[in-house]
Chain A
């Protein structure tokens, strides 16, 4: 059974930093690209970032470019999102998502971790 478990969500002040983690199991982790998608409370979905299966390439939404960094450790079956210069508008549930083999569609999602940016 595929499982994605996010952790690291907390309350942080504007300008602060945070690292989210996503532990994967139930599939061959280093065969698949991985992504982060966020959802502000009561709002829609926003793709945040994605990383290739080998970590060689990453992409970001314009809203987080230069502030967030995605990475992965295939020996630990984990993907990470390093967040810095946090803003109140970054407040959201952050979901880790596994991409299908072809195309950036997300066939498995974690339960999400809540990041609250507030003073």
Chain B
């Protein structure tokens, strides 16, 4: 089973700043089999990024994904208070299980 480790656990930033979230895989997952989700309190997750760097429908260009092999990054520029949420990475490389990282909590103060 591929293990995804996200860092940091919690990130506290101010509006207008840039957030950088990391997701590291325990083995290679290629260049495209990584997705990012945003989950706000009391809501289901929302797909942000698939294929490591492609934005899902309706996602603003402030959100961008990059990386390959075992190291991936979600960047959020010009932070807004509504970006406060927990962010999860998920791999879909090869056969199941399609594991998620443990999440990074982003606080906008």
Bound CA–CA A100/B92 (angstroms): 12
Bound CA–CA A25/B71 (angstroms): 37
Q: Kindly state whether residue A53 has any CB partner on chain B within 8 Å.
A: no
The A-contacting residues of B in range 53-83, CB under 8 angstroms, are 56-57
Residues of chain B within 8 A (CB-CB) of A68 are none
Please determine whether A106 and B45 come into contact, CB atoms closer than 8 angstroms: yes
Q: How many A-B residue pairs have CB under 8 A?
A: 59
Please determine whether B33 and A103 come into contact, CB atoms closer than 8 angstroms: yes
Bound CA–CA A62/B96 (angstroms): 10
Contact among B92, B95, B99, B101 with A105 in the assembled complex (CB-CB below 8 Å) = B92
Bound CA–CA A106/B90 (angstroms): 10
Which residue of A is nearest B35, CB measured?
A105
Chain B interface mostly = loop
Residues of chain B within 8 A (CB-CB) of A62 are 1, 97
Residues of chain A within 8 A (CB-CB) of B100 are 44-47
Please determine whether B50 and A103 come into contact, CB atoms closer than 8 angstroms: yes
Contact among B1, B46, B51, B103 with A44 in the assembled complex (CB-CB below 8 Å) = B103
Chain A interfacial positions (CB closer than 8 Å to B): 37, 44-47, 50, 59-62, 95, 100, 103-107, 109-112
Chain B interfacial positions (CB closer than 8 Å to A): 1, 33, 35, 37, 39, 44-47, 50-51, 56-57, 88, 90, 92, 95-103
